[in-house]
Amino acid sequence: MKYIDEFRDRKLIGKVARQIREAVKPRRACRFMEVCGTHTMSIFRFGLKEILPGNITLISGPGCPVCVTPNAFLDKAIALAGMKGVIVTTFGDMLRVPGSYSTLEKEKAKFNSVRMVYSTDDALDMARRNPDKEVVFIGIGFETTSPTVARSILTAGKEKIKNYSVLCGHKTMPQALRALLDDKKIGIDGLLLPGHVSAIIGVKPYEFLVKDKSKGCIIAGFEPLDIMQAILMLVKQKGPKLEVQYTRVIEKNGNPLARKAIGEVFQKADSEWRGLGIVKDSGLEINKKYSFFDAEKRFKLNVKPPKENKNCICGDVLKGIKTPEDCRLFGKACAPEHPVGACMVSGEGSCAAYYKYKARVYA
Amino acid sequence: MCLGIPMRLVKINGDEGMAESGGLKRAANLSLLKDARVGDYILIHAGFAIEKLKTEEARKTLKALREIGA
């Protein structure tokens, strides 16, 4: 497929790997964090760790939206699925994530009240087709996804689709990275930043990573060649800089229409992240003008206080402090068929990636 | 989850587009994109075109990579 296959060229990837080995030789051990779950998946899928020099360690960061969504939020989504007359619509990854007491998948089996959708347009269609039902979309994801949810609310407003609402759990990436790097335990030399978040927000929101945190940063694409080139750019940096590898997509100011949609519907709010706790201004909530479409305001949700599995270390895995293999549940009590923690459920979670691509070890 | 697939825009009807890649056709919501044209490569995320792909930049990246260390 065009613009995918070219960036998976094995020969070229091998060549970049050699360049990395040469560039990194005289330097000390490097720890780089790939922030985005889609990066994590690509790194494992294409075996990139295997072709990197031993002194470069890649650590997975908090960029898997499913993984960082806390139990308190999941419990609300699950409560909605148990309400009479409600259809919960969600991206597929969310179905099997365990909340404190249940999962959306289990509620679906009990009440037939959950539908997987590919896009918010599908959720709106469902609302149009089922005027006697309340259709709630579970809004999770970073800046890449939140404009699509904003658009759905704007459309619902315009067309007066009154039986549509959104349970809003959107998060914003830069604030989370600031919180992450404030934690002194996390030793990172450089970051691969998520290219599709920057497709929306552009380059500027990350400048603080260089100015305040002295980290080298590359905004990177997701194909193996993109990731390898970004690593090469990082090891070649003399002093921390913010550079763009994914030039075929990123505009300096991002996508103005998408940012406008976010600004029209949402406002900044403090948000809870699995692993990071509550991070100031790191989330989005539906603003007053569009509060009619806010599922938390529309429904009275009776949710018990959230409960975490004490043995699950997803929080530390998301911060890159521990690896999945440090977890005593990993591959035993917690596996993709019966996940305990969110990092095992999401196809992009570090634990799922470790399990899938090192299967010969754990199977 | 932040997956974005490059696809070629083959039809436009207002904010509704149809995009194609490797024989697969998908509806693409174009409301977040300015001036989309048939033939453009667009990046699709969750059913929405979130950005156009700059084909000249893609070519430049590949050229630069082919030339390093050559």
Query: Is A118 near chain B, with CB under 8 Å?
Result: yes
Residue in A with minimal Cα distance to B63? A12
Sheet holding A30-36, edge to edge: A56-63, A30-36, A190-194, A216-220, A242-244
Max avg pLDDT among A18-22, A183-187, A320-324: A18-22
The full set of domains in chain B, from first to last, is 5-67 (2.30.30.140)
B15 touches chain A (CB under 8 A): no
**Interchain pair A148, B32: CB under 8 A:** yes
Q: Give the model's pLDDT for residue A27.
A: 64
CA distance B11 to chain A (A): 18
Residues of chain B with C-beta less than 8 angstroms from the C-beta of A142: 2
Give the domain ranges of chain A.
Answer: 67-172+254-298, 314-362
Read off the pLDDT of residues A35-88 as tens digits, 9 standing for 90 and up: 999 999 999 999 999 999 999 999 988 889 999 999 999 999 999 999 999 999
Contact A230, A43 (CB under 8 A): no
Which of A97, A119, A125, A149 to mutate to test binding with chain B, by most B CBs within 10 Å of its CB?
Answer: A119
Cβ pair B50:A346 closer than 8 A: no
What type of residue is A268? K
Residue B61 binned pLDDT confidence (cut-offs 50, 70, 90): very high
Can you read off the two tokens belonging to residue A303?
């949710």
Q: Is the minimum CB–CB distance between B4 and chain A shorter than 8 Å?
A: yes
Q: Is the pLDDT of residue A360 over 70?
A: no
- Checking if the pLDDT of A26 tops 90, the result is no
pLDDT one-digit tens code per residue, A330-341: 999 999 888 888
- What's the pLDDT score for residue A363? 44
Q: Looking at chain B, which residue has its C-alpha nearest residue A249? A: B53
Average the pLDDT over B23-41 and give the result: 95
At residue B70 the predicted structure's pLDDT band, cuts being 50, 70 and 90, is low
Is B61's CB within 8 Å of A247's CB?
Answer: yes
Mean pLDDT of A174-197: 92
- For residue A12, give how far its alpha carbon lies from the nearest alpha carbon of chain B (Å): 7
Residue type, A349: G
Tokens standing for B16?
């509704």
Residue B60 phi/psi, 5-degree rounding, is -65, -45
Looking up tokens 């419990």, which residue turns up?
Answer: A75
Q: Could you tell me if residue A174 is left (phi over 0), alpha (psi between -120 and 50 degrees) or otherwise beta?
A: alpha
Q: Closest Cα to residue A220, out of A62, A14, A18, A43?
A: A43
Other Cβ atoms less than 10 A from the Cβ of A240: the count is 17
pTM for the predicted model, two decimal places: 0.94
Residue A346 and residue A64 in contact, taking contact as beta carbons nearer than 8 Å: yes
CATH for A67-172+254-298, options being 3.40.718.10, 3.30.590.10, 3.40.50.11740, 1.10.3720.10: 3.40.50.11740
Segment 20-79 of chain A within 8 Å of chain B by CB: 36-38, 63-66
Q: Is A47 left (phi over 0), alpha (psi -120 to 50) or beta?
A: left
Q: Which of B4, B59, B62, B43 is nearest to A9 (CA)?
A: B62
Q: Supply the mean pLDDT for chain A.
A: 93
For residues B70 and A179, give the distance between their C-alpha atoms in angstroms, rounded to a whole number: 42
DSSP letter string, A285-340: EE-GGGGGGBHHHHS----PPP---TT--HHHHHTTSS-GGG-TTBTTTBBTTB-S
CB-based contact B11:B5 (threshold 8 Å): no
pLDDT tens digits, one per residue of A263-274: 999 999 999 998
Interface of B with A in 20-39 (CB under 8 A): 21-22, 27, 29, 31-34
ipTM score of complex: 0.96
Using an 8 Å Cβ cutoff, are A262 and A244 in contact?
Answer: no
pLDDT tens digits, residue range A94-117? 998 889 999 999 999 999 999 999
Cβ-defined contact of B1 to A151 (cutoff 8 Å): no
Residue A219 backbone dihedrals phi, psi, to 5 degrees: -80, 115
